[in-house]
Amino acid sequence: MPKIIFRTCSGLVETNAVVGDTLLEVARKNNISLFAGCNGASACGTCQVYIVPDFLPKLKEPSTQESELLEVIAASKSNSRLACQIVITEELDGMMVTIP
């Protein structure tokens, strides 16, 4: 099981993730507060997270819809992604994610 580390306002939370789950599902299964207004449909952008840059190349490229949402989010950075669109793979073991 890949380990995903969430940086929250309360500190670091290390989780075990299931391959095939989305990052949003991992957060929810581990009681990590990560708002998703559209419930993971990639329609609102509220589940934005910051990915440690070393892991960005290991992620699937963002869809046009995700890219367009990230362009209009004020707090978006070059390492921003939507948690509902990141599917966990073995390659992501050790990834750190910051929740803004």
Nearest in space to 3 (alpha carbons), one of 19, 22, 21, 16: 16
Tens digits of residue pLDDT in 7-59: 999 999 999 999 999 999 999 999 999 988 888 888 888 999 999 999 999 99
| Percent of the chain as helix, strand, coil, to the nearest 5 | 30, 25, 45
Q: What is the pLDDT of residue 40?
A: 82
- Domain locations in the chain? 3-98
- Please report which confidence band the pLDDT of residue 84 belongs to, taking 50, 70 and 90 as the band edges: very high
Q: How far apart are CA 28 and CA 48, in angstroms?
A: 14
Query: Is the domain covering 3-98 a CATH 3.10.20.30 domain?
Result: yes
Is 0.75 surpassed by the pTM of this model? yes
Q: What is the pLDDT of residue 37?
A: 83
Q: What is the pLDDT of residue 64?
A: 94
> Does the pLDDT value for residue 75 go beyond 90?
no
Q: What is the pLDDT of residue 74?
A: 82
Amino acid at 5: I
DSSP result, 45-89: -TTEEEE-GGGGGGSPPPPHHHHHHHHH-TT--TTEEEGGG-B--
